[in-house]
Amino acid sequence: MSLYIPKEYHAQLVPETMEQAIKMLKSNFQEELSRQLNLRRVTAPLFVLAGTGINDDLNGVERSVSFPIKCMGDRKAEVIHSLAKWKRMKLGAYRIPANYGLYTDMNAIRSDEDLDNLHSLYVDQWDWEQTITEEDRNLEFLKATVRKIYEAMKCMEQTVYETYSHIYPILPNEITFIHTEDLLKEYPHLTPREREIEAVKKYGAIFIIGIGGFLPDGEIHDGRAPDYDDWTTPTTDGHKGLNGDIIFWNPVMNSSIEISSMGIRVDKKALLNQLKIKGCEERTNLEFHKALLEGTIPLSIGGGIGQSRLCMYFLRAAHIGEVQSSIWPEEMIDICRENGIHLK
């Protein structure tokens, strides 16, 4: 069990007020995100059919929660890991034009998760996807989109302060962009996680570009599935990758907190290249991959934004269990309670 206990921790809000704050945060943020990115809300599935290629396989090692469907000859359904591919298919089904998109509530169960202050068996996030053009598939468009999302987060932080005046804003005015290769050059003797911490401690809020592809040392910064984010396309700055993570410095935990994973999605060329790199070219026979290669799915940019993580950060909570209900080891519950951290 991994658990960090802040010294002399005190919750910023009593439980009753915390519930009100969570409701306010979730309601207001999704409206601001929708305004910034021209998104409309849609309803999403909790599970999809196995074997279609629609479910996100994350790093390829996490097991999905599954069950047989009696009235369909016991065909297997899987609880989604994320909606990265489903959203893109819906852009095509709804014929959403470029510069417009959709968002939804994504609820997932990740039974292989290592539970700690940030990780839960239950994942709740806003999944969003926006149709783009071929001309939009570049680094500057990615950065412009990140800035819009960051602006929505800054607006939310100000709203929290105006509602609860003892919770002061701490985000910097601008988010800093850093490529994984540059992080490796600056901190060659640190692990990828340690590099993130050093960078975000310095800047307060960063977007790390190029996650999933091999770095000059032969390693990857972090895992990415080969069939949604584009982490191989060369960019004008001499690097590769059109995806990344939004990460904030979290003073309560004295560490970093990843708020969002996002990116420009693969086109035909990037899909085939990344499937080959990962050794899973057989996926081209799956429903999602066939549709993409046949051109019936539009080009897009998209990502996920952690709902509970965003609430945890803005309300200065020490554990994600303070802002969401889940299952926790009894030992973790006891240690947290002894230190003023009350898990739901």
Helix (H, G, I), strand (E, B) or coil at 338: helix
CA gap 248, 264 in Å, rounded: 21
Taking CA atoms, 331 is separated from 116, 339, 343, in Å, by 12, 13, 12
Residue 167's nearest CA partner among 19, 317, 343 is 317
Residue 221's nearest CA partner among 184, 248, 253, 256 is 184
CA gap 242, 264 in Å, rounded: 6
Residue 141's nearest CA partner among 307, 269, 262 is 262
∠ CA(20), CA(159), CA(105), 5° rounding?
60
Q: What string of DSSP letters covers 107-164?
A: EEE-TT---SSS--SEEEEEEEEEE--GGG-SHHHHHHHHHHHHHHHHHHHHHHHHHS
Residue positions counted in the chain: 344
Catalytic residue positions, numbered: 56, 110, 125, 245, 258, 261
Q: Tokens 């592809």 identify what position?
A: 213
CA gap 56, 82 in Å, rounded: 6
Strands (E), 32-87: 39-41, 47-49, 66-69, 75-79
Q: Are strands 205-209 and 176-179 parallel, antiparallel or unpaired?
A: parallel
